[in-house]
C-alpha cells in the first residue's frame, strides 16, 4: 500500500538554511551582514522636473563610466528625449522611458448597461502567449453573442485613524462623528467640487477609531481628490470635535488600497462588476478543443485548490489581464493587487452549454485623470472609444469582460492540455 506524502515546509526551510551556512565561518558571515557606513555614495535630493537636461543630470550622478552610461542612455533616454515633457507630474528623478509592447485582443462583444459594442482591447505585456490567450477567449465570447457585464456598485475608501486617551473618549467621538455625515459631505463638495461621499463607518479598537469614508469614484480612479477631501474632514474634526484625539493619521491602513484582502472581496474597492456568458457546447468544442463538462469539472477542482491555498476569492489569473489592461490604459498598475480578488464560476446548463461568470468587487479604473491623459495610454483608451468623461462605467464593464475571456481561455487550456504548449517558443506563424 502506498504512503501519502505531504510537504513539510518547515523541514524545507531548515534545509535551505543549512545549505546556505554549512562550511562557512560564522564570524565572517556576521561581519558580512553588519551595517557599513564607510565610503557612502552621494545621494541627491532628487527632482520632480521631467526634462532631457534633468535626465542627463541624474545619469551623471549615478557615477557610471562615460562609455557604459552612453550605452544605457541609448536604450532608455536618447530615443525619447523629445517626448519626456509629456511625463511631467508622473515621475521623479527621470532617466528615460521604458518600452513595453502593446498587443490587441478581440474585438470582444460586450452587452452591458454602459458598454455596448465590439471592443478591441489593448494589452501591454512582455509575457509570451498572454495576449493570444485573452484573444482566444474574446473570440469565443464574441461568437457566443458576447458577454453581459454590469457595474453593481461604485465606491472607494479612505480610512483616517484617530487615537484617544481611553476607549470612553473613542466612543464619545464616534457618537459625535455619526452626526456629522452632512458636514463631511459639504466639505467634500467644497474641496473637490462633487458630492461624492456616500458612507461614513466608524470602527472602534481599544482607544482608537478607524473612520472609513467611502466615496463614489465615477469616471476617475485617481485618489487625489479623495485625499484632499479626507484632509479637509480631518482638519474639521481637529477644530470641532468635542473629544479631541491625541493624534490622527490620514490613512489607517483599513481601506485595503493596493493589496488583496477580504474587505475588498466583500465590501469592494472601486467598481463592483459582474460579467457572464453562456457558451454553446459546439463553440467550446470547435474553438477551445475541449468540452463543457471538462471545463466545469476543472473549475470545481481549482476552486477547492484556491480555498486550500488560502486565496482571497477563487479565480484563475485575474492579475494577468488586469496588469496588462491597466498598464495600457493608464490606470494605477499597483491597484491590480486589490482588483485581482473575486470569483470565477463555471457550470454546465441543462442544455449542455457552459455558463461562465466572473464577479469582480474591486475594479479600480478610470477614463479621465492620472496617466489616462498620457499620449500612449490615451490612444489605447480611444482605440476602444472609452476615453474621457462619462466612460468610466463602460471601461469597467469591458475590463470585466476581458477577465471573463481570460478565465475561459485558461480553463480550456488546462482541460485540453494546451497551457504548456502555448508557452513554447514560436518557430513559425500559426493560426488556430
Query: 356-372: buried (b, 16+ CB within 10 Å) or exposed (e) per residue?
Result: bbbbbbbbbbbbbbbbb
- Alpha-carbon Rg for the chain in angstroms: 26
Catalytic residue among 169, 212, 257, 332: 332
Show the cell assigned to 154: 461604485
Q: Which of 16, 74, 417, 423 is catalytic?
A: 423
Known catalytic residue: 190?
Answer: no
Burial (Cβ within 10 Å: 0-12, 13-18, ≥19) of residue 143: middle
User: Is 317 one of the catalytic residues?
Assistant: no
423 is catalytic: yes
What gap in Å lies between CA 85 and CA 239, rounded to an integer?
Answer: 41
Angle at 402 between CA 344 and CA 302, to 5 degrees: 25
In the DSSP assignment, the letter for residue 370 is G
Give the span between the Cα atoms of 70 and 88, in whole angstroms.
24
Q: Of 8, 74, 127, 246, which residue is the catalytic one?
A: 127
CA angle 14, 18, 20 (to 5 degrees): 115
As separate numbers, helices (DSSP H) first and strands (DSSP E) second, the chain gives: 16, 11
Q: Rounded to whole angstroms, how far apart are CA atoms 97 and 52?
A: 11
Catalytic residue numbers read: 127, 332, 423
Amino acid at each position: 500500500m502506498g504512503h501519502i506524502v505531504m510537504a513539510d515546509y518547515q523541514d524545507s526551510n531548515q534545509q535551505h538554511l543549512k545549505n546556505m551556512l554549512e562550511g562557512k565561518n560564522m564570524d565572517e558571515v556576521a561581519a558580512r551582514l553588519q551595517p557599513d557606513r564607510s565610503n557612502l555614495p552621494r545621494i541627491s535630493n532628487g527632482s520632480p522636473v521631467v526634462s532631457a537636461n534633468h535626465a542627463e543630470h541624474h545619469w551623471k550622478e549615478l557615477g557610471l563610466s562615460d562609455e557604459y552610461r552612453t550605452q544605457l542612455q541609448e536604450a532608455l533616454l536618447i530615443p525619447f528625449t523629445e517626448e519626456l515633457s509629456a511625463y511631467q507630474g508622473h515621475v521623479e528623478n527621470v532617466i528615460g522611458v521604458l518600452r513595453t509592447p502593446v498587443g490587441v485582443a478581440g474585438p470582444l462583444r460586450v452587452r452591458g448597461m454602459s458598454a455596448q459594442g465590439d471592443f478591441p482591447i489593448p494589452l501591454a505585456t512582455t509575457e509570451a502567449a498572454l495576449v493570444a490567450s485573452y484573444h482566444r477567449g474574446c473570440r469565443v465570447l464574441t461568437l457566443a453573442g458576447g458577454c453581459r457585464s454590469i457595474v453593481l456598485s461604485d465606491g472607494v475608501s479612505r480610512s483616517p485613524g484617530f487615537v484617544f486617551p481611553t476607549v470612553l473618549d473613542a466612543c464619545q467621538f464616534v457618537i459625535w462623528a455619526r452626526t456629522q455625515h452632512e458636514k463631511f459631505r459639504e466639505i467634500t463638495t467644497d474641496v473637490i467640487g462633487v458630492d461624492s461621499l456616500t458612507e461614513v463607518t466608524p470602527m472602534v479598537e481599544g482607544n482608537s477609531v478607524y473612520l472609513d469614508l467611502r466615496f463614489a469614484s465615477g469616471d476617475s480612479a485617481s485618489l487625489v481628490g479623495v485625499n484632499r477631501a479626507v484632509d479637509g474632514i480631518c482638519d474639521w474634526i481637529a477644530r470641532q470635535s468635542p473629544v479631541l484625539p491625541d493624534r490622527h493619521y490620514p490613512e489607517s491602513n483599513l481601506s485595503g488600497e493596493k493589496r488583496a484582502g477580504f474587505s475588498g472581496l466583500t465590501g469592494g474597492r472601486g467598481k463592483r462588476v459582474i460579467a457572464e456568458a453562456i457558451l454553446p457546447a459546439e463553440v467550446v468544442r470547435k474553438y477551445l478543443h475541449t468540452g463543457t463538462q471538462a471545463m466545469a469539472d476543472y473549475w470545481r477542482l481549482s476552486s477547492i485548490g484556491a480555498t486550500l491555498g488560502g486565496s482571497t476569492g477563487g479565480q484563475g489569473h485575474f492579475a494577468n489581464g488586469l496588469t496588462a489592461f491597466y498598464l495600457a490604459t493608464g490606470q494605477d498598475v499597483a491597484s491590480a493587487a486589490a482588483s485581482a480578488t473575486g470569483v470565477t464560476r463555471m457550470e454546465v446548463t441543462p442544455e449542455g452549454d457552459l455558463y461562465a461568470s466572473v464577479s469582480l468587487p474591486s475594479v479600480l479604473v478610470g477614463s479621465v485623470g492620472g496617466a489616462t491623459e498620457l499620449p500612449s495610454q490615451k490612444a489605447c483608451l480611444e482605440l476602444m472609444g472609452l476615453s474621457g468623461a462619462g466612460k468610466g462605467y463602460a471601461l469597467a464593464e469591458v475590463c470585466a469582460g476581458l477577465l471573463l475571456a481570460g478565465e475561459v481561455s485558461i480553463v480550456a487550456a488546462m482541460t485540453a492540455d494546451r497551457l504548456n504548449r502555448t508557452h513554447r517558443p514560436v518557430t513559425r506563424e500559426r493560426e488556430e
